Structure 1
Amino acid sequence: MSALALLDGTVDAPSPTRDEADARSHAAGGLARWQRSRIEGFVAANLHQQIAIKDLAALVRLSPSYLCKVFKVTFGMSPHSYIMMKRVSRAKSAMVSTRAALSDIALSCGFSDQAHLCRVFRQAVGEAPHRWRQANQTDLGQ
């Protein structure tokens, strides 16, 4: 396979395995696998409440400022953006699987109120939560 073929997109480059991606991320100044795993688990378990950078940093034994730097290398976004993305994802799951009010979903996903959910959701998804819900919700036995 020629380098030219890879560059012009006629041949797909083999995708790296997770271990290769981990090694590259760590070598490039990213988080170690155990650190990434702890952060992912902590965020998933605590989305319903406020998550402070200092708590994430303590969890993986780094300073808050250094965590922000290596977090972006590893995840491609800031810790705040990552947390908001996970909250939006959880809200989307709740919107399609329950009839709960958006205000209840907002609070259960860690947003301060329904307006906060709506603002972040619209920025991330491109439409209002209620419209997205109408378009994506399956019949829940109405």
Structure 2
Amino acid sequence: MSHRNRPQPSPPSEPVRRIEAGPWAIELLPGAAYATRYVATQSAIGFAFDSQRGLHAIGCDRVQPFDALPNGLAFVPVGCDVLSESPKGGEYLRVIRTDGVPLAGDRAFNNRIDQQAISLALRMRAALLQASVEDDWEAWALALADRATGNQALLAPLQSAITGKRMRLLDEFIDAGLDGPLGIPAMAGLLGLSEGYFMRAFKHATGKSPHSYLIDRRLAKARALMRDSTASLAEIAHTCGFNSQAHMATTFRQRLGISPAQLRSLSKPG
């Protein structure tokens, strides 16, 4: 759920981005396979940007499959026994205190959808990709800790028509058709839902609209191709369903705060 001891990497991957601010350490872990087991020596807040699938046992001895929804907030308290592994993983934000002061809360959870946490996590990801003098890391970390350890973290999990299994089916459908137009009617039809109900259920489950989620999937595929292929940026834009290379560049700057060319140069080994 939080710290990842990954297997030996094969292709070069995006680097782990890390910043320390006051008593906080904030890391952005790139999407990659991982397998880890540990007992938490300090409490940690996590945020999964991508949907992912694997096995885990959090605070118990029972190992079971998991299907994690995107934009899920997580919390691991001190002393919690954690086992987690995924063949693909997903981009993940990790926030911990480094001064030994424990965070409130003694109950582990994940897959929690919280609108304010989503906004904070996206802001922190953009700042880790491209820093600014206006970044306010301590305020962001404190605010995210409040979302993870406040009363809202004790609420029952949200119920939704978009289950983990259905989300995985939808992800496979989207990934197979990213090079062409994808719309609400096709996605709703895949799950046997009306368009209106699908849009409400999707927002309820993931914290974002289907359109916004599609853009994120296009960006994720583009980033993977920039890292693992020699295709030109124009070719990558076409493969990922952007109207043009310029459209892809604009979307990268708006969503990630960095251009495709800058991100590709950061992903190169050495």
Shorter-chain TM band = 0.7 to 0.9
* Higher helix content, 1 or 2: 1
Q: Which runs of 4+ in 1 moved over 4 A?
A: none
For the structure 1 residues 16 and 130, does the alpha-carbon distance in structure 2 shift closer, same or farther, using more than 3 Å as the test? closer
CA distance in 2, matches of 1:17, 1:71: 14
Question: What does residue range 29-108 of structure 1 map to in structure 2 within 5 Å?
Answer: 29-108=160-239
Give the drift of 1:16: 4.2
Deviation readout 1:13-65 (Å, 9 max, x if unpaired): 312489xxxx934x2x4423443232121112111111010000111111111
Give the aligned length. Answer: 127
1:124 to 246, 255, 267: 255
CA distance in 2, matches of 1:130, 1:120: 13
Amino acid at match of 1:14: A
CA contact (8 A) 1:107 1:113 kept: yes
CA distance in 1, matches of 2:104, 2:157: 25
Residue ranges of structure 2 left out of the alignment (5+ in a row): 1-101, 113-155
Residue ranges of structure 1 left out of the alignment (5+ in a row): 1-7
Give the drift of 1:106: 0.3
CA distance in 2, matches of 1:12, 1:135: 38
Corresponding position of 1:5: none
2:157 to 10, 21, 24: 24
RMSD between aligned alpha carbons? Answer: 2.5
**TM-score, normalised via structure 2 length:** 0.43
CA distance in 2, matches of 1:87, 1:138: 23
CA distance in 2, matches of 1:34, 1:74: 12
Give the drift of 1:97: 1.3
SS of corresponding position for 2:225 = helix
Amino acid at match of 1:59: L
CA distance in 1, matches of 2:106, 2:260: 36
SS of corresponding position for 2:238 = helix
CA distance in 1, matches of 2:168, 2:245: 30
Amino acid at match of 1:131: Q
Task: Name the % identity.
Answer: 31
